[in-house]
């Protein structure tokens, strides 16, 4: 049987969907992934995908490509009307998804949105879709990405071109962005201060600023504010190239974001800063991560912008607290004076 997986539109959601793909493949399905073109390099890293289809600008072309794939069922992970309409129009007989945005007639089976879903792990949503199709659940819900050696080597070369030394002092990535809106971003000036504080506390630490194309302006400000010592890496890379860089990090300090989930799937420990979103739903999966969350009376609100204009759910996290958490976790991974990383 060939199964179509309509992939989420966000990097982090796609990474969290990796166990869904693994479960389908383990159940004997050939998995066909439908993803936005920008996510294709990431989809290519997920074990179990046999074919990847692009969501093309013209829906007619996308529908024809889905029909040609010959899928007997679809797992629709996004909750938009459009994501359910495409496999419906392509004539896929079974289409599992949640009945939201007036799309119930497009689904078979259609599941009701559970109450309180934003307070439970997102993987619980995915588990219900697999159960509706009679697919055995995976043994665990920790996404794992194994990089090809060639991709890891290109990541090492990119770091070395930035005058960083993988395997010597600890590599600590700082990701100040979050594509879903400014409310999820710890102030960029604090990332700059954090870079200075980490170097002051541990001179062997090698900070670098991780950024995608949309975070370039922010990363450049952090670079300048922290003394122009720490390179900006990532804006020119696709998601596979970014994964090749992240895999060499000893630690990533990050907002709730796609790179957070990508790093966690690569086995990189994260210090994750949560504000308007709920770590019960989207915390980095696996062991060894540290989540900082103040749990203010108004959070989690899930707004892109703070409705009270104070952003205290993240601004209440001080540089000192984030620094101390990062240094404590780093001491467990790479004690001062210890050997090089094994990545």
CATH of residue 280's domain is 3.40.50.2000
Q: Distance between CA atoms of 46 and 147, rounded to whole angstroms?
A: 10
Choose the final residue of a domain: 64, 99, 132. 132
Tokens of 224: 């300048």
Structural domain boundaries enclosing 213: 153-333
Does residue 128 sit in the same domain as residue 180?
no
Q: Can you list the positions of beta strands (E) in 163-248?
A: 171-175, 206-210, 232-233
Does residue 263 sit in the same domain as residue 175?
yes
Task: Give pLDDT tens digits along the chain (343 positions).
Answer: 999 999 999 999 999 999 999 999 999 999 999 999 999 999 999 999 999 999 999 999 999 999 999 999 999 999 999 999 999 999 999 999 999 999 999 999 999 988 877 788 899 999 999 999 999 999 999 999 999 999 999 999 999 999 999 988 999 999 998 877 788 899 999 999 999 999 999 999 999 999 988 889 999 999 999 989 999 999 999 999 999 999 999 999 999 999 999 999 999 999 999 989 999 999 999 999 999 999 888 888 888 888 877 788 889 999 999 999 999 999 999 888 765 444 4
Does residue 317 sit in the same domain as residue 203?
yes
- For residue 339, tell me if it sits in a domain: no
- For residue 304, tell me if it sits in a domain: yes
Does residue 107 sit in the same domain as residue 229?
no
DSSP structure class, residue 102:
T
- For residue 139, tell me if it sits in a domain: no
Does residue 121 sit in the same domain as residue 170?
no
Does residue 195 sit in the same domain as residue 309?
yes
Does residue 117 sit in the same domain as residue 178?
no
Number of domains, the chain: 2
Strand ranges across the sheet with 251-255: 232-233, 206-210, 171-175, 251-255, 270-274, 290-293
Tokens of 99: 């009945």
Backbone angles phi, psi at 134, to 5 degrees: 75, 25
Strand ranges across the sheet with 2-6: 49-54, 30-35, 2-6, 73-76, 94-98, 110-111
Q: Are 262 and 41 in contact (CB under 8 A)?
A: no
Does residue 219 sit in the same domain as residue 314?
yes
- For residue 144, tell me if it sits in a domain: no
- For residue 340, tell me if it sits in a domain: no
**Complete DSSP assignment for 249-313:** -SEEEEESSHHHHHHHHTT--EEEEESSS-HHHHPPPSSS-EEEE---TT-----SS-TTS--HH
DSSP structure class, residue 159:
H
- For residue 143, tell me if it sits in a domain: no
Q: Distance between CA atoms of 41 and 1, rounded to whole angstroms?
A: 25
Does residue 58 sit in the same domain as residue 183?
no
- For residue 217, tell me if it sits in a domain: yes
Q: Are 278 and 272 in contact (CB under 8 A)?
A: no
Does residue 212 sit in the same domain as residue 161?
yes
Choose the final residue of a domain: 74, 102, 132. 132
Q: What three-state secondary structure class fits 97?
A: strand
Choose the final residue of a domain: 132, 161, 193. 132
Region for 211 from its dihedrals, namely left if φ exceeds 0, alpha if ψ lies in -120 to 50, beta otherwise? beta
- For residue 180, tell me if it sits in a domain: yes
Q: Distance between CA atoms of 105 and 302, rounded to whole angstroms?
A: 28
Does residue 43 sit in the same domain as residue 114?
yes
Whether the upstream peptide bond of residue 292 has omega within 30° of 0, thus cis, is no
Does residue 235 sit in the same domain as residue 119?
no
- The pTM (predicted TM-score) of the whole model is 0.94
The residue with tokens 């540089």 is 319
């Amino acid at each position: 049987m060939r199964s179509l997986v309509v992939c989420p539109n966000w990097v982090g959601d796609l990474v969290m969907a990796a166990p869904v793909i693994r479960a389908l493949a383990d159940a004997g399905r050939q998995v066909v992934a439908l993803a936005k073109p920008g996510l294709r390099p990431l989809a290519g890293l997920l074990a179990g995908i046999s074919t990847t289809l692009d969501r093309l600008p013209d829906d007619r072309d996308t529908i024809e490509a889905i029909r040609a794939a010959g899928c007997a069922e679809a797992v629709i992970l996004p909750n938009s009307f459009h994501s359910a309409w495409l496999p419906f129009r392509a004539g896929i007989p079974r289409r599992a998804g949640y009945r939201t945005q007036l799309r119930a007639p497009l689904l078979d089976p259609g599941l009701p949105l559970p109450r309180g879903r934003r307070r439970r792990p997102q993987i619980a949503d995915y588990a219900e879709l697999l159960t509706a199709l009679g697919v055995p659940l995976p043994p665990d819900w920790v996404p794992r990405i194994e990089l090809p050696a060639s991709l890891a080597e290109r990541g090492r070369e990119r770091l070395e071109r930035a005058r960083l030394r993988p395997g010597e002092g600890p590599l600590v990535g700082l990701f100040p962005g979050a594509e879903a809106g400014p409310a999820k971003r710890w102030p960029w000036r604090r990332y700059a201060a954090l870079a200075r504080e980490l170097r002051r506390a541990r001179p062997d630490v090698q900070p670098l600023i991780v950024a995608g194309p949309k975070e370039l302006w922010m990363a450049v400000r952090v670079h300048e504010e922290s003394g122009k010592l720490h390179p900006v890496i990532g804006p020119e890379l696709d998601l596979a190239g970014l994964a090749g860089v992240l895999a060499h990090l000893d630690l990533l300090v990050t907002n709730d974001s796609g790179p957070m989930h990508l790093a966690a799937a690569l086995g990189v420990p994260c210090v994750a800063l949560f504000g308007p979103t709920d770590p019960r739903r989207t915390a980095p999966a696996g062991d060894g991560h540290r989540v900082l969350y103040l749990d203010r009376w108004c959070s989690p609100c899930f707004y892109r912008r703070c409705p009270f204009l104070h952003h205290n759910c993240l601004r209440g996290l001080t540089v000192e607290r984030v620094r101390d958490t990062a240094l404590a976790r780093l001491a467990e991974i790479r004690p001062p004076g210890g050997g090089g990383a094994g990545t």
